[in-house]
A = this chain, B = another copy of it.
Amino acid sequence: MIAQIISIGNELLIGDTVNTNASWMGQFLNDLGIDVQRVHTISDDKHVIADTIKQSMAESDLVITTGGLGPTHDDITKTTIAELFGVEMRQDEAVLSYIKELFASRNIPFSESNAWQAMVPENCEVLFNKAGTAPGMWFHEQDCFLAVLPGVPYEMKYLMKRRVAEKLREQTKAIGFIHTEYLKTAGIGESTLSDHVLGDLSDFLNDHVSMAFLPSFGQVTLRITGKGDSKEEAISNSAKLIELIREKAGKYIYGDDKDHTLSERVGAILSEQNKTIATAESCTGGLIASTITDVAGSSVYMLGGVVSYANEVKVNELGVDPKHIKTVGAVSKEVALQMAKGVAEKLGADIGISTTGIAGPGGGTAEKPVGTVWIGFYSNEQHFAVKALLTKDRLVNKQRTTVMALELIRRILSGIEELPYALTKETA
């Protein structure tokens, strides 16, 4: 099945809005086995809209438009389509009463322009939109399907998932179901994960099962997509590969929800084990504490922390020995160890985590180049530090040190021997 997408809106052409809808739809349709041949981005101009829809319908099996369905005078998509097909507009009673109820429940007065939202071309089937007030529309004309959707990303996605995929399935056996799962890993590079841990998976990849690596900031998310003639079949088709990945790479996986964060996982483990944590940060400057406290309810396990940017703060607040700062320097195993222990004892936490490093861009030496970072860990059972060599970029170094520290905590508390990036424990 060949598809074309038509994105309507002047804001897209003058660059005020980036066309993220088209890429989302491209991926969604591609996963359904539909080949997107072309995306047209066009202005809110009646003739341009009509001509583009007409031509696209002649060239493909499915055309999807987004945009131009709002209640104002510059939203002309649906009247243009009615004219193109030579039909009248009709009022859809179900949509009208839904919008009226919605406004009543929010205590917003109902106006003429809101009622206009319930008007649709006679020859369409309404794609009911519970995510907003503009209904989607479905046409079957000239051997082509046409879906007309609002441009608001949230509403477009709702209608694609709930209505368009369903309509396509009704029409053709070829459109199966898709099931996507995400396995989130941290502390391992994409190539190591792919080549050394997972190895050759080609026996498990076929027309019904595909996989993608999505790397970002020291984390790699695996997207596994199964396809089938039913939801159950799609799930079962991907299950074997997911099981294999969990078997081979289980210790690197911290979550299986797309939006699940590493700090949420660490927080859940701390809660389960009834443990508290405190942070002592130099080079990360508070980013670890901030990331931990991004999680709602983190006050249960996060006592607080010290940002010890100045050496005096390391000495006075965290009990770092000034002798070590003089002899081995603030960026050293000794100082990382003392900071982690110091903050845990001072704040009365079960776990202390520390960072000290050269974030850059300045401050590097031959012996300790920019990107040199020590992370310290302290608990009743363990007290060690690890050394990592990161990049020349200050913000990247802060971000990657934070991910590394959180993943370090996760692995230690989960009893996983191997440290992030196979770093080695160094003790006093």
Contact = CB atoms under 8 A, between A and B. Distances in A.
Nearest to A299: B309
A20 B22 contact: no
Interface in A1-31: 12-20, 22-28, 30
Nearest to A14: B30
A37 B26 contact: no
B38 A40 contact: yes
Interface stretch (A110-118, A129-137, A280-288): A280-288
Contacts of A18: 18-20, 23
A23 B17 contact: yes
Interface in A334-393: 346-348, 359-362
Interface in A23-77: 23-28, 30, 36-43, 48
A423 interface: no
A419 interface: no
A115 to B, nearest CB: 28
| Interface range for A | 35 or more
20 contacts: A12-B26, A12-B39, A13-B37, A14-B30, A19-B19, A19-B22, A38-B40, A38-B41, A38-B42, A39-B41, A40-B40, A284-B290, A285-B292, A285-B302, A286-B286, A286-B288, A286-B289, A290-B398, A296-B362, A303-B313
Contacts of A26: 12-15
Contacts of A362: 296-297
A297 B309 CA distance: 11
A306 B306 contact: yes
Contacts of A361: 296
Closest 7 CB pairs of A and B: A285-B293, A15-B27, A286-B289, A286-B286, A15-B26, A39-B41, A286-B290
A279 interface: yes
A298 interface: yes
Nearest to A41: B39
A424 to B, nearest CB: 28
Contact of A395 (B294, B297, B346): B294
B23 A15 contact: yes
A321 to B, nearest CB: 18
A380 to B, nearest CB: 19
A309 B286 contact: no
Contacts of A14: 26-27, 30, 36
A360 B294 CA distance: 10
A310 interface: yes
A223 to B, nearest CB: 11
B27 A16 contact: yes
A307 interface: yes
A322 interface: no
A426 interface: no
Q: Which of A13, A20, A26, A346 has the most CB of B within 10 A?
A: A13
Contacts of A48: 37-38
Contacts of A299: 309-310
Contacts of A348: 312
A147 to B, nearest CB: 17
A225 interface: no
A284 B22 CA distance: 36
Contacts of A288: 286
Contacts of A28: 15
A305 B290 CA distance: 12
B294 A304 contact: no
A367 B308 CA distance: 35
Contacts of A24: 15
Contacts of A297: 362
